[in-house]
Amino acid sequence: MRLPVSPIHITRVEQGSSTGADDILVTEEPLEIRLGHGPEQDRKEVQLSVTMRTPGNDEELALGFLFTEGIIKGMSEVLRVVPCENVKEEERGNVIRVELHPSMELDPAKWQRNFYTSSSCGVCGKTSIEAVHTRCATAITPFGPIDPKVITALPDRMREAQTVFKYTGGIHAAALFDREGKLLILREDVGRHNAVDKVIGALITASRTNSESTAGQLATDNCQLLASGRAGFELVQKCLMAGIPLMAAVGAPSSLAVQLAKEGGLTLIGFLRGERFNVYAGG
């Protein structure tokens, strides 16, 4: 089992003096996502993506990624998600296969993109600009009026719930809250986009209890997502795909993120620090 943290011995220097000390680092390892598809008697495999991630909640990460890329619409199109055992020893625990329903036909335009996802910049290497703009299948319901007291309390509530951050100080987080600020789901990862995919993957997994639901049809109308770091285009896109109407970030948004938020009806908040924040779209 891959662990989210790794021990290390370091030299700590303070006021010109050095001493040896034990420390903990956040783990960063590649995860290869494969798709199994086709009729039961003739299953095929697609090596879809490699993402640099922190081990943990890998099934949610894979599902969230597939959903926000528009490859699946929900759990009704997935049979199971399993770690691949028939791999090299050094790859064990770092390869996961999503088995799609036999009735599902893959659109080559949605998966022949040579995905490579880094922990710093999100999805790179898509073969066209058009492929960058994944379209949201359903219209988002605007969040409406925001409560500043609820918004400004979110960072502390997220930080209190983080576990790996407490020991490493080097990991991102994404947290889903209800309208009143109650924490619903929190996930950590070395990549901020992975953390958001894990949250969305958790939503998709929960949809299995309702056969008529997809991730975009869950009760997300009154939810708000907080992301550590900056608010990039890919994070806004993921929120829109999942039907989350408000996204807040500790850091700054990009111009394309603001443009997409306005087009999609998303309330976008940035520079959420202390009692201050900026509203860039909606609200």
Active-site positions read 121
Q: Compute the chain's Rg from CA coordinates.
A: 19
**Within 13 Å and on the Cβ side, how many CA atoms surround 169?**
2
Task: Report d(CA 180, CA 280) in Å as an integer.
Answer: 21
Backbone angles phi, psi at 53, to 5 degrees: -145, 170
Place of tokens 């949250």: 199
